Structure 1
Amino acid sequence: MDNHNDSNSASVLRFGPYAFHLRQRLILEGDRQLRMGGRAMDILQVLLERAGRVVKKEQLIAMVWPTSVVEEINLRVHIAALRRALGDGENGQRYIVNVPQCGYSFIAPVLYDSVTQVVFETLQAPQHNLPARLTPVTGRDSLVGGLVRQLPLCRLLTVTGAPGIGKSTVALRVAELLLQHYRDGVWQVDLALVDTDTALLAYLLQTLDCDFSTLCRRHALLVLDNCDHVREACAGLVENLQNAAPQLSILVTSREPLQVVLETVQHIPPLAIPKRAAGETADQFMGYSAVQLLVSRARVRQHDFRLREQDLKTVREICLQLDGLPLAIELAAAQIDALALVGLQAQVDNGLQLLSLGRRTAVARHQSMAAALDWSYQRLSEQEQRVLQQLSVFKIAFTLEAALAVIMRPALSSSMLITVIEGLVRKSLLMMERSNGALRYRMLNTTRRYAREQLEGSGERLDVERRHTRYIRRMRKESSAQLAAQLVE
């Protein structure tokens, strides 16, 4: 007899020590009720009703999320949560197996009972205050999946990265996927809403609507979002919570690490950009996450938009000029219907003005790229601002020697200047990279354009450019002299 037909009339599906009461949406292990979220229950029901057969991943996603577009990572995370809840793999008992390149199968025997009914208290949905997601997260599956696996194993994880890189987006996506893991919920606390005089602990307790002793007993995930301007106070709060609340996990978003005990740091890289347009097809280009995001957002504006072979060079240049930054790409794609791709590329080359028409409902710092950079720039010291401005004369990666030669630094020694540059690296406003064993620094295009605008208004632009020109000429002369000496030898 077909198991699926049997399950149509069954009210209880039994396997191992468990009983899944379908009408009540309840799973019991003996008399104990298992905590399990709605999506996980939906997945389990589909697999139980088709026990012994392979259910394709696409079919499973379509049945569990019929009206939503979700990533495969979402399914994998819920499957992993199911396995943990059921003790799958413990004591040699297996329930759900992955069939590579195909899907999942429930392999344990299942009994169908149409008589048994129980009285129970309704299982509460997972508690959270996470904002509703308006668009899918593009190009971050691997990163998000790694953080989902990592976070429950560490007490504190800080997500860092440049302005517009998507720190909050990644953190909130991780939090969504961990809803089933934390008994007492997942809670976002947006610190961008507080000023520097606010007592963070009091604000946290007000947001969570609980007292400190209650918080210390909770098994929960706290997302402390946008802590840049209150970084030191946030570090103190986190240390306090680490000592008093052993079951709390804390996920922080910041330009730079908190530098507290037990902190794990994850720096978010830009989205992947094609290295070259020649020799690659449109389908191959769609394998790069920056291109995926640009195309998906363009289709919101033009439903018939598609990537053509003749567009590849232009698309690559747009993504390159925007540094693979998700916020910058989204803001640029919003202009696709008015400018088309060629016009979009021309405007991207002109500066940040194009990147100023974000969603009206977005927070202020996400409504334009300049606003996102303002949020970081205004929190720099005067020395850091001045150094960042002057480094904007470098259009390519530069050495520390070059920086020392170009920056005008009255009352700023070489060692102090190096400290300032290292601080800008920590704050994700400068990138540090090694090339052929040499340490170099680089500024993202969007950051450089912003810093250049600040330099224009400082009155120092001409002097800095002269120093830059003199340095370039000196280096060329030295290179020529070295080459001549090698030829003589």
Structure 2
Amino acid sequence: MNEAAFFTNRIIWDEEHVKALLFEPENLVIEEPWNSWVKKQGGLGMVRELLRGLTLSEKHRKTLQVIFGEPGASLQRYALLSHTSVATFVRHRTSLVKTLVVVLNSREQEISSRRSAESKTASNFPNNLPQRTLTLIGRERELRTIQNSLCQEDVCLLTITGPGGIGKTRLALQTAADLLHQFEDGVFFISLASITNPDLVAPTIVQTLGLPGADNFPARELLKNHLQDKRLLLILDNFEQITPAASLLDELLKAAPGLKIMVTSRAVLHVYGEYEFSVPPLLVPDLTRLPTLQELSRFPAVALFLNRAQAVKNDFTLTPENATILAEICVRLDGIPLALELAAARCKLFAPQALLRELSERFTLLEYKSVDRELRHQTLRNAIDWSYQLLSRDEQSLFSQLGVFVGGCTLEAVETVCVLDKSAGISASEHLASLVDKSMIQHESRPNGEPRFTMLESLREYALEQLGLAGQNQAASQRHFAYILQMVESAEPGPREPNLPAWMNRLEEEHDNLRAALRRTLAFDEHEIALRIAGAIWRFWQIHGHVDEGAKWMKEILARSAGQESIARAKALWGA
């Protein structure tokens, strides 16, 4: 092993370790500092992508492609794949190794020089930003958007919103670190997670900035006086439980024209001039059209999962055998970074297939005790609990009932299915808007301009759990399938009516809700309603390419309702 690597700030590559990287990576990661280097790159899969992306000659690029195409193959096999003799392949391999030694060492030198420059830059500007220990994966687009917004002259207050565990704090810290040089008077991070009294926000900022006079002057006045001529960035982390303190931010921004404030919160602040950036989940693959292994490893959710899994099991890799399973895990976890990290930590105990099975109990599985992670981020349940407890009683009730919808719902559906306390005079649309603001649900516009509301699967599972605890699961489920029945029967067109395509598209949009309604009618032995729903939508199954699924539903529904004589059964039989 190259001992010099232990006594320098960067890796020093030699031919021995480059060969190990190419042909025996599982042996390379046993040693330090190579194991740490591989983890920093995001795991062996990302290392291969790094090598593929290096500027190499065509000969070297093809040799690398052959080696990575069939890891561990014989020289004869590599020569065959290269369309050369064994001797020629060995020469090409030797040349590739020598070239990679030079290229990788040059890359390490550039990175070391850049980090040194960044370190000097950071020391030139006052800040209290924590040292970054983990690479931020899959957030390049979001970083660019946030940084571009914050650099605009008219953007003084930027609120980064999203549900718990979506990665708001990490994005804010990375943004602050990247923009440090633009704030000559400093960048300061203030954690507000432990504060529940809005009046304590100003004193907390004063304490973080180390301002004298806190015993003799009001904190608000101290801040305004100190910040009035400063070019400075404040990062206020976890603002959702103290949103009444948003008025303080407005005061500070009016008093200090050079001040910018970046807030992370699960709820928007509703302050004049506020710009919001809602953090989306990490992109997940389409399970119906899985890409190649190389492309799959580039999906942000998959890349993060692999990176964190390799942190606890260094030989964990993406393979043809586990690719579909890992993709499904990422989809089941909605691309939520916290959920992916908690699940990846379980790879030390569970093989991918077993891990996927265990996700049926995701709130029990997704726990990870860590001394440097806040309690509410040590389990997925805690992260959602925190947001749920900040809702009003009516909002909690509506959120729980929304769990009966699968794949989203319209405002009309919410008003029909969900039971709301109307004594306060607050409409369903107002409650929904509040839940959107608090990152508990999302909304999108349908082609006709009307809103459609959706919920991440982890949040939906939590909502159903709360609905069950309140003893309302069966009643809400019955209202749901009653609504679905009314929807499909009232809008069912004749076979040649001009609105048939529009009706088909509506059913496609509600397909997940149709499935849920049928499952529930059978679970509650509501065979007549199941027959009526199936009888109304059999043409949809046939015309929209769901013939096999429709046949399975019909077979089960007709079997369960055997001996029953009704118009609904006759119609279902006709459709079968």
Aligned to 1:165: 166
Q: Does 1:456 align with 2:486?
A: no
Q: Does 1:227 align with 2:239?
A: yes
The C-alpha deviation readout for 1:201-225, integer Å capped at 9, x for no partner, is: 2221112111432233322110011
Q: Which moved more, 1:129-138 or 1:422-431?
A: 129-138
SS at match of 2:284: coil
Deviation at 1:349, TM superposition (A): 2.8
1:318 to 323, 329, 332: 329
Q: Does 1:305 align with 2:304?
A: no
Conserved? CA contact 1:139–1:293, under 8 Å: yes
**How many Å separate the matches in 2 of 1:238 and 1:487?**
56
**How many Å separate the matches in 2 of 1:418 and 1:425?**
10
Q: Which moved more, 1:407-416 or 1:425-434?
A: 407-416
Q: Does 1:365 align with 2:366?
A: no
Which runs of structure 2 are paired with 1:32-431 in the superposition (5 Å)? 62-66=108-112, 125-153=124-152, 154-196=155-197, 198-210=199-211, 211-212=222-223, 213-233=225-245, 235-276=246-287, 278=289, 280-411=291-422, 416-431=427-442
The C-alpha deviation readout for 1:6-61, integer Å capped at 9, x for no partner, is: xxxxxxxxxxxxxxxxxxxxxxxxxxxxxxxxxxxxxxxxxxxxxxxxxx998776
Closer, same or farther in 2 for the Cα pair 1:423/1:293, shift >3 Å?
Answer: same
Conserved? CA contact 1:277–1:313, under 8 Å: no
Deviation at 1:188, TM superposition (A): 0.7
Conserved? CA contact 1:331–1:358, under 8 Å: no
Q: TM-score, normalized by length of structure 1?
A: 0.73
Q: Does 1:473 align with 2:519?
A: no
Amino acid across the alignment from 2:337: P
Amino acid across the alignment from 2:156: R
Closer, same or farther in 2 for the Cα pair 1:58/1:144, shift >3 Å?
Answer: farther
Amino acid across the alignment from 2:405: F
Amino acid across the alignment from 1:133: R
Deviation at 1:303, TM superposition (A): 0.8
Closer, same or farther in 2 for the Cα pair 1:484/1:351, shift >3 Å?
Answer: farther
Q: Which moved more, 1:362-371 or 1:437-446?
A: 437-446
Conserved? CA contact 2:290–2:324, under 8 Å: no
Closer, same or farther in 2 for the Cα pair 1:483/1:169, shift >3 Å?
Answer: farther
**How many Å separate the matches in 2 of 1:409 and 1:146?**
38
Deviation at 1:312, TM superposition (A): 2.4
Aligned length: 384
Closer, same or farther in 2 for the Cα pair 1:140/1:59, shift >3 Å?
Answer: farther
Aligned to 1:3: none
**How many Å separate the matches in 1 of 2:234 and 2:377?**
22
**How many Å separate the matches in 1 of 2:125 and 2:106?**
22
Deviation at 1:305, TM superposition (A): 1.1
Amino acid across the alignment from 1:428: S
The C-alpha deviation readout for 1:339-395, integer Å capped at 9, x for no partner, is: 111111112233321112253320111111111111111010000000000110112
**How many Å separate the matches in 1 of 2:185 and 2:424?**
52
Unaligned runs of 5+ in 1: 1-55, 83-122
Conserved? CA contact 1:360–1:367, under 8 Å: no
More helix by share: 2
**How many Å separate the matches in 1 of 2:186 and 2:451?**
44
Conserved? CA contact 1:321–1:349, under 8 Å: no
Closer, same or farther in 2 for the Cα pair 1:338/1:484, shift >3 Å?
Answer: same
Aligned to 2:520: none
Closer, same or farther in 2 for the Cα pair 1:279/1:264, shift >3 Å?
Answer: closer
Closer, same or farther in 2 for the Cα pair 1:402/1:220, shift >3 Å?
Answer: same
Conserved? CA contact 1:277–1:312, under 8 Å: no
More strand by share: 1
Deviation at 1:466, TM superposition (A): 1.1
Identity %: 32
1:445 to 457, 466, 484: 457
The C-alpha deviation readout for 1:210-247, integer Å capped at 9, x for no partner, is: 143223332211001110011121x1111111111111
Amino acid across the alignment from 2:244: E
**How many Å separate the matches in 2 of 1:488 and 1:385?**
38
Amino acid across the alignment from 2:130: P
**How many Å separate the matches in 1 of 2:478 and 2:382?**
30
Rg larger for: 2
Deviation at 1:160, TM superposition (A): 1.0
Conserved? CA contact 2:394–2:421, under 8 Å: no
The C-alpha deviation readout for 1:307-328, integer Å capped at 9, x for no partner, is: 1123222122111111111011
**How many Å separate the matches in 2 of 1:418 and 1:205?**
40
